[in-house]
Amino acid sequence: MNTLYFDSTVNDEVRRERLYNGQLFVYSPSPSARALCELGRELAEAAFAPLDPRDAQHSMSVEQYAAILAELKPKFIHHPKAKTYIQAMLGEFGCDLSQTYFDVPRMRTSTAGGYLTTGIAYAFHPHRDTWYSAPMCQLNWWLPIYAIESENAMAFHPAYWDQPIRNGSQDYNYQEWVKTSRFIAAQQVKTDTRKQPHAEEEIALDPQVRIITPPGSALVFSAAQLHSSVPNSSQRTRFSIDFRTVHLADVNAKRGAPNVDSHCTGTTLGDYLRGTDLTHIPDEIIAQHL
């Protein structure tokens, strides 16, 4: 990774090419991105009322906290406004909605002090999304719901952009994960027994890059970027939103970031919805990526 672009005015085609080459893009809050984060904040505050969601972990048991998240997170995913805000947001950032497909937005939480790091609040170790059957053309969009700081942010590990890492992705198949593991996250409270790809060698966490942006700002990066959840020492839970996009022409051409170490099977492409009418990617195209 060589460059970090702030509020770049390049078009989507140029942006995608640069993202596939390991660059990062950050955008100031757009109206729809801000609205998406406000929706997440409203739902979180209603779920944890009268407590502040960022501090609620200090006032309840882990089991109580996990139970609230088990209701809150699906409620956000399936809220009728969430997809509408994403469609508008992608338009604001210059994406061709007839070619751009997105998956559902997810609310993420990173609790402080190791309070809850499994299951519904899984704390991600250094990983590439491409280890999890993501296509090489997948782009990740990440937005903080509340203000974040270095102690509860996300970290990128740029030295590994083109350096292979021994990992367990060869044992991961997304379709099998959906059948056996996706829907039991809320049950994984004390330990997480679900089999997921991990690095199988020591990772040098430094040099690392932490990007601190205001609520509603959008951080965009390739699914091939090695990134991780920073161990949260801030005393406050981090709430964020992420979703992913693919461009259909890139899917068809199998264009994207270089694959240096991903050996998984299956594909997440069946989860994506077209930006115009929310239809899925045609089955015959998905079949070429299984």
Strand 4-6 with 24-27, pairing: parallel
CA 286 to chain centre: 21
Helices 80-92 and 31-48: crossing angle, nearest 10°?
Answer: 150
CA angle 130, 200, 22 (to 5 degrees): 35
Contact yes or no for 276/96 (Cβ under 8 A): no
What domains lie within the chain, and their CATH numbers?
Answer: 4-287 (2.60.120)
Half-sphere exposure at residue 83, Cβ-oriented, CA atoms within 13 angstroms? 18
What is the DSSP secondary-structure string of 225-286? S-EEEPP--SSS-EEEEEEEEEEHHHHHHT-SS--SS---BS-SGGG-EETTT-PBPPHHHH
pLDDT in tens for each of the 290 residues of the chain? 579 999 999 999 999 999 999 999 999 999 999 999 999 999 999 999 999 999 999 999 999 999 999 999 999 999 999 999 999 999 999 999 999 999 999 999 999 998 887 655 555 689 999 999 999 999 999 999 999 999 999 999 999 999 999 999 999 999 888 887 555 444 434 554 557 899 999 999 999 999 999 999 999 999 999 999 999 999 999 999 999 999 999 999 999 999 999 999 999 999 999 999 999 999 999 999 87
